[in-house]
Amino acid sequence: MRLALLSLITAATLGMSVTSAQAARYGAVYGSSEEFHFVADTAVDLGQGPLALCHLTKKSTAMFFIGMWRSSKGYALVTDGCNSDAYIPISAEEVAQGQASGKIPADVPLQPKMTLQQITSGFFGLILLGAFIGFALVQGVLRGKRRKARYAEMGGMSPQAMAIVDAMCHAARADGHVADEEILEIADAVEVMTGQEIDPADVLKIAEMANEKLSEGDFAAMVKGQSKKTLEVMMRGSLHVVVADGELNRAEKGYISGLAKAMKMSADTVQSLLVEVVAADQSTGQPT
C-alpha cells in the first residue's frame, strides 16, 4: 500500500492517534497480515481530503497465502479509499458521534461485520481442511461397508482365509479389470483353503466390491494382526492372481509393492515368491 499522508500533528489536534497497519509477515509456513476493507466514504477531513471508513481485519495464513483465520479489529479512518498503511482507529462511540454530526453515513452499523467474501477468503483453509476431513470420513465409512459386504459373501471362512481371499480380490481389482483367469485362480484358492467349492460368480461379486485405489492405511489394515505364515500365503496368492492372465501391468506391480511394504517383506522375498508362482503356473499349463 502507498504511505499515508495523514498528519500526526493534525490527528493529535483532534485527539486521534495514527497507527500503521501490520504489513504481511510470513514464516516458513504460517503468516499474518492486516487488511482494510472499504465500508463507506465519510465527511471527516484532516486536511488531506475526506477519509474513508474501513473495516480492519487480521488474516492468518498457511503456505504463504491460504487463509486459515480472519478476525475483526474494528473500524478505521483511512486516506485514499482504504489504500494506505496508516489509519486512525475509531470506536463504536466515535462512529455514533460521527453519524450524529453527519460526518459518517447513518446506515453504517456501529460495529463492523465481515462480509461473505471476507469470511470465505479468511477461512478458506479451514473450510478446505474441513471438506477434506469430511470426504476422508465418508470414504472411510464407505470402505468399511464394502469390507463388511465382501466378508459377508465369504460365508463361514476362517478370519485368515477371509484376509487372504480379500487380498487376492484386491489384486484382481488393482488394474480396474477383473479377468476370468483371476477369478478362477481365487476360486481355486478358496477350495484349497476351505475344502469347499465357490461359485466363480460369487468371487466376481467379491472382487468387484474391492477398492481399486488403496492407501498405505488400507494396506496396513489388510495385513494387521496376521501371522508371518498367513502374510506369506497372502502374498503368494496375490502373485498368483496378478500373473494369472499372463500380464503384470503397472497397476498390479503397484499393488504388490504396496502390499509388500505393509508386510515389511523385502523385494528379494517377493521376487523369490514370484519365481515360484510362475514356475508353478507353468507346470500346470496356466499362462504366464
Q: With contact defined as beta carbons under 8 Å apart, do 35 and 82 qualify?
A: no
C-alpha cell, 114:
465481515
Q: How much is the pLDDT for 154?
A: 80
Give per-residue pLDDT as tens, 180-223: 999 999 999 888 887 878 889 988 998 888 888 889 989 999 99
Give per-residue pLDDT as tens, 224-235: 999 999 999 999
Residue 7's pLDDT band (cuts 50, 70, 90): very low
Give the Cβ contact number of residue 155 at 10 Å.
12
Distance (Å, whole) CA 285 – CA 146? 35
Q: How much is the pLDDT for 1?
A: 29
Residue 85's pLDDT band (cuts 50, 70, 90): confident
Residue from 262, 281, 250, 261 nearest 176 by CA: 250
Give per-residue pLDDT as tens, 110-127: 998 877 776 666 556 566
Question: CA-based Rg of the chain, rounded to a whole angstrom?
Answer: 33
Domain 146-283 annotated CATH 2.30.30? no
Number of helical H runs and strand E runs in the chain: 11, 6
Half-sphere exposure of 210 (CA within 13 A, CB side): 29
* Residues 6 or more apart in contact with residue 95 via CB below 8 angstroms: 53, 75, 104, 108, 110
In terms of DSSP H, where are the helices of 123-227?
124-153, 159-173, 180-194, 200-208, 216-223
Q: How much is the pLDDT for 241?
A: 93
* Residues 6 or more apart in contact with residue 111 via CB below 8 angstroms: 74, 92
DSSP label of 76: E
Q: With contact defined as beta carbons under 8 Å apart, do 179 and 245 qualify?
A: yes
User: What is the arithmetic mean of pLDDT over 2-8?
Assistant: 33
Q: With contact defined as beta carbons under 8 Å apart, do 166 and 237 qualify?
A: no
Q: With contact defined as beta carbons under 8 Å apart, do 237 and 223 qualify?
A: no
Query: Any idea where the domains of the chain sit in the sequence?
Result: 8-122, 146-283
Local structure of 183: helix, strand or coil: helix
